[in-house]
A = this chain, B = another copy of it.
Amino acid sequence: MLAMNVKRLVKKEVSRLRAYNAKEIPCRIKLDANESPYGFIGALKAVGGLDTNRYPDPEAKKLRILLARSIGVNKDAILQGNGSDELIYYLIATFGGPVLYPVPTFSMYGIIAQALGEKYIGIPLNREFDLDMEKTMAAIKRERPKLIFLSSPNNPTGNCFSSGKILKIIGQSKCIVVVDEAYQPFASKKGFLPLLKDYQNLVIMRTLSKIGLAALRTGFLIADPAIVGEVNKVRLPFNVNSLSQAVAIAALKEKKLLNSCIRAIIAERKRLLREMERIKGVRPFPSEANFILFSVKDPEGVYAFLLKKGILVRNISGAVRGCLRVTVGRPEENSAFIKALRETEQ
């Protein structure tokens, strides 16, 4: 057979897509991916003796019961995902598009909508990085989205959106509104869990990836059981593997350790912010997450300089002009970052 043009066989929307760039950049201090600096090595023991030959519990019952209890909902209100990423996939597969979200925000909402061939609409945030209600409500009216994703605290801006605005969107839109609370453990504001009982179209996403368990790929959505039931239909039966289930359960039981890691990150975030504010030419934005967005005069130059010092941050200047994003690391990592950043002062 003659070689054929693979492109011709691919769906148009996919053909236009570019693969997610996950190039590994060698560094000494990794502050680019919003990972926790603290792992749970002890919890890894939980895989010992697992039957590797058996399929995982397709319902992740033990894990969901544990989570349900800690959150204060019924386990039927929880759906497990191979990371929140997978739950975004499933939500879009279940409800379809158009998919609406503010920009800048977590890139996967748009990427996955495109992969699934659904229309996606980004509405620019206002100058305070909060939701622009005029534009948002107009877009809802005009586009009639099936899904709205609101990451709050928002990545990469770090702030929580105004609760009143989120509530208005949930209340007035007739569609599913997903509040992605990946960074909620680091926020001072309360999250939206208490509102689940009042709004049937509200879906909340949570993840273990930012609190020390990114290696596991375990995310959750919490919603009305009727919604969970529908999304569950498009879920692959064994999407969270046995190893992740076992380690997640063990780690979640170490509540004290979990909480002290979160507190340490919040304390370091405060220190980082304070120290960054003192550096000339650097303007950090307040953060409710485990990272800080900051503007500099020469983002490319500062990024490269930090990397030369072995410190990897994320260059966000494509999404937010002049900005880099630094993840809160261990105290000594943060100090090294501050020291290097000071050297960029002119």
Q: Which residues of A contact B (CB under 8 A)?
A: 1, 3-4, 6-7, 9-11, 14-15, 17-20, 22, 24, 30, 33, 35-41, 43-44, 47-59, 82-83, 85-86, 89, 93-96, 108, 112, 115-117, 146, 171, 174-176, 198-201, 209, 212-217, 224, 226-227, 229-230, 232-239, 241-244, 247, 251
Contact = CB atoms under 8 A, between A and B. Distances in A.
A159 to B, nearest CB: 24
A57 B55 CA distance: 23
A43 B115 CA distance: 35
- Among A39, A214, A236, max chain B CB count under 10 A is at A236
Given A47-B47, A95-B11, A215 B243 contact: yes
A251 B243 CA distance: 14
Given A94-B14, A233-B17, A236-B85, A216 B6 contact: no
Contacts of A20: 58, 233, 235, 237
Given A14-B93, A18-B233, A94-B14, A216 B241 contact: yes
A27 to B, nearest CB: 12
Contact of A1 (B198, B214, B236, B244): B198
Contacts of A37: 53
A214 B52 contact: yes
Given A93-B115, A230-B7, A236-B83, A36 B17 contact: no
Given A217-B241, A241-B244, 14 more contacts: A3-B200, A14-B230, A41-B48, A44-B243, A51-B215, A52-B214, A54-B215, A93-B115, A93-B117, A115-B233, A214-B238, A215-B243, A216-B241, A243-B244
Contacts of A52: 39-41, 43-44, 212-216, 247, 251
B9 A36 contact: no
A274 to B, nearest CB: 25
A116 B115 contact: no
A112 to B, nearest CB: 8
Nearest to A232: B19
Contacts of A44: 47-50, 52, 243
Contacts of A235: 19-20
Nearest to A199: B1
A235 B6 CA distance: 17
Contact of A6 (B6, B54, B226): B226
Given A11-B96, A146-B9, A244-B243, A54 B214 contact: yes
Contacts of A95: 9-11
Contacts of A39: 50-54
A9 B215 contact: no
